[in-house]
Amino acid sequence: MTTALWTPARLPLLTEKRFVITGSNAGLGYWAAEFLARRGASVVIAARNEQKATSAIASILTRAPLADVSWVKLDLANLASIERAATELSAQPIDVLVNNAGVLGASKRGFTSDGFELMFGTNVLGHFALTARLMPTLLATENSRVVSLGSISHEMNEMDLADVMSDQNYGSFRAYSRSKLGVMLIAFELDRRLRAAGLSTESLVAHPGFSLDGLSAARPGITNGSRSNVLVRAALGTFAQGKDAGALPTVRAAADPVARGGEYWGPAGWRQLKGSPTVVRAKNRSRDIHSASTLWSMAETMTGVPLSF
């Protein structure tokens, strides 16, 4: 598989394909939305903040004036909002759902509107409920995909199925890494179940490596990355990359014809921190069938939304 100097220009034209990307009003999600829109895709920014979504759409249109980009209000920390958004999103076919949004760095233990620990409730349960509600629409589209955003942080903590809400000894990074491991467990399990059912919809996971806004290209109103101190950029650039580069594994997983269900896409460089997007190896813990099945059942119970087909 060729990875050197890969750019989104290598993708086929994506006209008549509809991509729903959560949290794409900023960060990695914004870049994925821009890259896909520039290849002709219809892109839906599914996010909470209308003002930020409007800025993201304006930024994309300056680079792809004919792009079809829209906004649907979605708060992944609120199950009622997820249900409303899914109803609106299901009015049209969906080729790819990109579960990109995520909560990171909550120093104090917070909670969703439904009482779940904030990072687990948003990153895992929110996307689980959204995927479940959109599954009939995805299944109605031949060769549709679900791409979930994982993280290299999944390598640093085991999943504690007895304490998914981090009730005991809450630590921000531990809660985050466990939530990302949870995302990956469910995403890989989803692909296993889709394959077992003989369905054409596929589930993949992508991660951005170590990606920073400060190393990204500038997008007024979105990021001013290129204005960062030259020395700081040079130092960070030895082991990190911009979020524009960090979005490329997601873009390939979502739209590259060579991508296949069950794959894990990330940077090709040292420790998967930076580099051209390619298929990489995930820790075995992220593919543990027992943990995935248990977590899946827990998610169905907690959200009240079954994910079956």
What are the pLDDT digits (tens) for 100-128?
999 987 788 999 999 999 999 999 999 99
- Type of residue at 66: L
- Percent of the chain exceeding pLDDT 90 equals 85
**295: buried, middle or exposed (CB in 10 Å: 19+, 13-18, 0-12)?**
buried
Instruction: Note whether residue 309 is domain-resident.
Output: no
Q: Say which amino acid occupies 272.
A: Q
- Is residue 1 one of the residues assigned to a domain? no
Gap between the terminal Cα atoms of the chain: 32
3 in a structural domain: no
Q: Is 137 inside a domain boundary?
A: yes
Q: Does the structure show a pLDDT above 50 at 2?
A: no
The confidence score (pLDDT) of residue 230 equals 66
Of 225 and 132, more confident:
132
Beta bridge partner(s), residue 146: 97, 203
Number of domains the chain is built from: 1
The DSSP symbol for 283 reads P
Mean pLDDT of 189-197: 99
Answer yes or no: 264 catalytic: no
Of 246, 221, 265, 202, the C-alpha closest to 52 is 221
Phi then psi dihedrals of residue 25, to 5 deg: -85, -5
Alpha helices (H) along the chain: 27-37, 50-63, 79-89, 118-119, 127-139, 172-196, 230-236, 243-246, 248-255, 289-303
Residue 26 CA to residue 34 CA, distance in Å, equals 11
Determine contact, residues 18/42, Cβ cutoff 8 Å: yes
Among the residue ranges 93-102, 110-119, 188-197, 238-247, the one predicted with the least confidence is 238-247
Which pLDDT value is given to residue 238?
80
Helical pair 50-63 and 27-37, crossing angle rounded to 10 deg: 40
Residue given tokens 């896409």 in the structure block:
265
Q: Is the pLDDT of residue 36 over 50?
A: yes
As given in the structure block, the two tokens for residue 302 are 């907690």
Domain of residue 261 covers 13-303
- 114 falls within a domain: yes
Q: Is 5 exposed, middle or buried (0-12, 13-18, 19+ CB in 10 A)?
A: exposed
* 209 and 273 Cβ atoms separated by less than 8 Å: yes
- Give the model's pLDDT for residue 156: 87
Distance CA 275, CA 254 (A): 18
pLDDT tens-digit map of 129-168 = 999 999 999 999 999 999 999 999 898 888 999 999 999 9
| Residue 219, domain CATH | 3.40.50.720
Q: Is residue 19 part of a domain?
A: yes
Strand 96-99 and strand 145-149: pairing? parallel
250-265 pLDDT, tens digit each: 999 999 999 999 999 9
d(CA 9, CA 1): 16
Point out the catalytic residue in the list 30, 170, 176, 264: 176
Q: Is residue 226 part of a domain?
A: yes
Separation in Å, CA 123 to CA 47, 129, 159? 13, 11, 14
Distance CA 78, CA 247 (A): 26
Cβ(159)–Cβ(138) below 8 Å: no
pTM for this prediction: 0.95
Would residue 4 count as lying in a domain? no
Those residues with Cβ within 8 angstroms of residue 177's Cβ, 6 or more apart along the chain or in another chain = 151, 153, 154, 156, 157
Residue 229, pLDDT > 80, answer no
CA–CA distance, 198 with 196 (Å, rounded to integer)? 5
